[in-house]
Structure 1
Amino acid sequence: MTGRRLSSLLASVTAAAAGASLLTGCGVLPGATGGSREPVTVMTWAPDQTRATNMPGMPAMAQAFARWVNAEGGIDGHELRVLTCNEQNTPAGAAACARRADRENAVAVVGSYSQNGRAFMAPLEAAGIPYIGGYGVTEDEFTSPLSYPVNGGLASLVAGHGMQLAEDCRRVSLVRPDTLAGDRLPKLLDAGLKKASKRGAVDIPAVEDATEYTAQATRAREKAGGDDGCVAAVLGERTQTFFDSFRRLPETGSGGRADDGGSGGDGDESGNVRISSVLGSVGQPVIDRTGGARSPFEGAYVTGWYPEADDKSWEPMRKVIREHAFADNRVDPTDTGVQTTWIAYTVLKEVIESLDTDTITASRISEALDQGTRVDTGGLTPPLRWMYEDLLGAPDFPRIVNHEVTFQVVRKGRLVAQKPGFVDVGPTVTNRG
């Protein structure tokens, strides 16, 4: 073979190989520089198209994050591959996702949602796979040594909500899921109320996936009383369904009432009971869907983990969504699940960069976190670190490291800060009755 023919053949093979490299791997985009370092595979799961709470924005945000970092050359030279899994809101579905993560060599499960902690943590622990930045809805996320939560979970939200309501509510009714996780909520809410020497809330359990809540709404309104009474509902995606039932009760005002005197809807003012909830059960997407400034949530009190959605600290996430989520309407920057996933992947990115190694393993990630890797989330949370001295050590929730919440209120159809900055609920969660 002549030198010219050999050179031509080598050029063709090189071009074909380069073209093929752009088509291999999950989330690799043309223009990604990549490198000689091994790809990193992680998983994000969440329930989708179920009768209870759905969080499709979480895996969608994970995929957008991967497109972004891969377009920039990966995380410290590692291509990021994101596996997604529909957890289906069942123990079997959660366990199946965890086993798949092990089978496909995921080095972490990141920014995920599941109410079935016992079902997924056991297989993750057996495989040594860390769980980074789960949504915070189960006890196992705050007890497993392989879990690294980025917020204080539902425990911090509900305890903080009690503190928020204590300032303005004479009596409180709590409508919550009739589940094992829901059974913990009354004591947490009461801990926040009692911090201001207020009486405990009336506990009203409800089926999580009901299609209407007239009976529970009636009891909640009666027990809350008239003026200065509050009805708090923490039912996940069904919270909107509950307040639809609540607003249809005879002689009931259709909106919450906040410290600015705002009152929503056109209902009878004789039933002037404030309504309230926590982010994840009520958020900006729900408010938008139900009428914005004319939503039944106008004036409602809401406790969150993070700054309000319009805070400038969210701009880096919004930029990634604009440029890499394209027309995916699952990725709403005001959704708490999307926000939690962004923070969880921020943790993953900083941990991988801190390792500075060609091969990333599950054990290396968990060791880095255990040994004090500190993550700055740009003001979305306090700096995060999971060393022993950083853990709150609260009964049932020992691995909480971020025990700060924000108090928000719905004004003119937008969730805005009721008071600036974060509120520390660590002592309230630790010393609840």
Structure 2
Amino acid sequence: MSAAALTVCGALAAACGVMPGTSAPSASTIKVMTWAPENTRATNMPGMPATARAYARWVNAGGGIDGRDLQVVTCNDTNDSSGARDCAQRAVDEGVVAVVGSYSQFGRATLPTLEAAGIPFIGGYGVTPIEFTSPASYPVHGGQPALMAGLGRQLADRCAQVTLVRPDTTAGDALPPQIDAGLAAGRRGPVDDVRAPEDASEYTAEARRSLTRARTEPGTGNCVAAALGERTHTFFDSFRRIRAGHTPVRVGSVIGSVDQSVVDRAGGASGPYEGALISAWYPVATDRRWGTMREVIREHAFEDNRVDPTDAGAQTTWVAYTVLKQVVESLDGGEVSARTVRRALDGGLTVGTGGLTPPLRWRFEDLLAMNDHPRIVNADVTFQTVRDGRLVAARRGFVNVSDTLEHSGRPG
């Protein structure tokens, strides 16, 4: 009977409390958590936990990480503070060694709990300031501050005036000063700030307002930027319907609000994103440096349409698990716990990501000299554009915006 029960459990792992693609907990298991909002009315990032599960299936098929199986526990933060707090508490209750490659707009509801338990937070999406101030946080990119500063720097070369359409939320309040820092570096004035609901079904009023400058000041090279997450497509759909008859306006956005799948759904080369300027953390999704990730998706997530290699959330989760893997390997067969993982990260371990980011290291001397975001260790961004319906590099290599962020003098 025991053998039969084990056979059933092996066939129906999820029913026995084990995520598909992971192994049952044991002394040689590394348990981690990835959380993100799913099935909400506003922001949803289902590709991040799905990517984490695919990564676990891949490494476990190859013998695990340094001989240990990787078990991934996932949690839906429901895009509210209560759900986020529940995910953080579950991470403590599950005894995970790290929270890896996750997204939440409610960092103040999660990171204090992780800090108290000594659990490291590796590779968050970077939408809340506490991700760049908490000693438990180990970001792999510069978050929204770097993206917005990079977008401002891009637009400054092309635009006399920029209008920014952004969520009317606490997280959205941080965006205008961040893009202003990039615009100021290009000797441009601050944005016209247009607030918008983050869960609207149409944005006609906001689109009309964003076009006001272009109508009253024709020929001055005005631009409209939108950073509304997955509602960015909804905004530009409204924008496209009413822009006819207006002075041509260049548009811009950031990766995460726009990716290749969004451009495709909007009509590709004939859609509103053609010619758009996009700021991103990583190389374009077609770059050969994403080859391993694409192969893993084909082999271990081929039936899961939530995993999109062009999605910045999935890419961030991949990079974060790359960090975790190298941290565990650096322990050379020793104890893997929240304490030893943090000690390795704080001790100067340098992590390579195959060129997807610069080498990452979280020593005190590697941190950005920025009061509001001192935990940033990677302020590199890439400049991309939509050409013939495809997201391509607008400039070779990375652009470092650390000076822009350090000298912004504005809250983020």
Specify the TM-score bucket, using the shorter chain as the normaliser: over 0.9
The Cα shift of 1:17 comes to: 11
Once the 2 structures are TM-superposed, how far is the Cα of residue 413 of structure 1 from its aligned partner? 1.2
Corresponding residue pairs, total: 401
**Which residue pairs with 1:419 in the alignment?**
395
Which of 37, 54, 66 is matched with 1:76 structurally? 66
Post-superposition CA distance 1:369-392 (Å, at most 9, x none): 000111100000000000001100
Partner in structure 1 of residue 194 of structure 2: 204
Check conservation: 1:231, 1:276, Cα contact below 8 A.
yes
What residue number does 2:378 align with? 402
Farther-moved stretch of structure 1 (366-375 vs 349-358): 349-358
Name stretches of at least 5 consecutive residues in structure 1 with no aligned partner. Answer: 1-12, 254-267
- Tell me the equivalent position of 1:350: 326
Shift of 1:226: 3.4
TM-score, length-scaled by structure 2 = 0.93
Tell me how far apart the structure 1 counterparts of residues 307 and 25 of structure 2 sit (CA, whole Å).
29
Aligned to 2:289: 313
User: 1:90-111: per-residue Cα shift (whole Å, max 9, x none)?
Assistant: 0001000011111111111000
* Aligned residues of 1:99 and 1:123 also touching (Cα < 8 A): yes
**Which residue matches 2:160?**
170
State the secondary structure of the residue aligned to 1:383.
Answer: coil
Deviations 1:219-261 (A, max 9, x none): 1111244341100011111111111111121xx24xxxxxxxx
Aligned-partner residue type, residue 169 of structure 1:
C
Q: The residue matched to 1:271 in structure 2 has which SS?
A: coil
Instruction: Quote the Cα distance in structure 1 between the aligned partners of 2:401 and 2:89.
Output: 35
| Cα distance in 2 for residues equivalent to 1:139 and 1:242 | 25
1:273 match: 249
Give 1:134's match in structure 2, choosing from 124, 130, 140. Answer: 124
| Larger of the two Rg values belongs to structure | 1
Asked if 1:240 is matched to 2:228, the reply is no
Which amino acid is 1:230 matched to? C
Question: Of residues 198, 202, 226 in structure 1, which corresponds to 2:218?
Answer: 226
Please give the secondary structure, in 1, of the residue aligned with 2:211. helix
Residue segments in structure 2 that go unaligned for 5+ positions in a row: none
Residue matched to 1:57:
47
Q: Distance in 2 between the 1:95 and 1:289 partners? A: 34
Query: CA offsets, 1:105-159, max 9 Å, x none?
Result: 1111000000001001111111111100011111011000010000100000001
Counterpart residue number, 1:95:
85
Tell whether the 8 Å contact from 1:133 to 1:150 is kept in structure 2 after alignment: yes
Residues 268-294 of structure 1: CA distance to partner in whole angstroms, max 9, x if unpaired?
A: 5x4300111000111111112222222
Query: CA contact under 8 A between 2:163 and 2:193: conserved in structure 1?
Result: yes
Letter in 2 for 1:286: V
Name 1:156's counterpart in structure 2. 146
- 1:297 is aligned to 273
CA displacement at 1:419 relative to structure 2: 0.7
**Displacement after TM superposition at 1:315 (Å):** 0.2
Contact 1:44 1:83 in 2 (8 A): yes
Q: Is the 8 A contact 2:119 2:339 kept in 1?
A: yes
- Cα 1:327/1:371, change in 2 over 3 Å: same
Q: For the Cα contact (< 8 Å) 1:202–1:223, is it kept in 2?
A: no
Q: Distance in 2 between matches of 1:35 and 1:126?
A: 24
- C-alpha distance 98-296 of structure 1, shift in aligned 2 (>3 A): same
Larger deviation: 289-298 or 349-358?
Answer: 289-298
- Supply the AA of the counterpart residue of 2:230: E
CA offset at residue 356 of structure 1?
1.7
Q: Is the 8 A contact 1:43 1:85 kept in 2?
A: yes
Q: CA deviation at 1:393?
A: 2.5
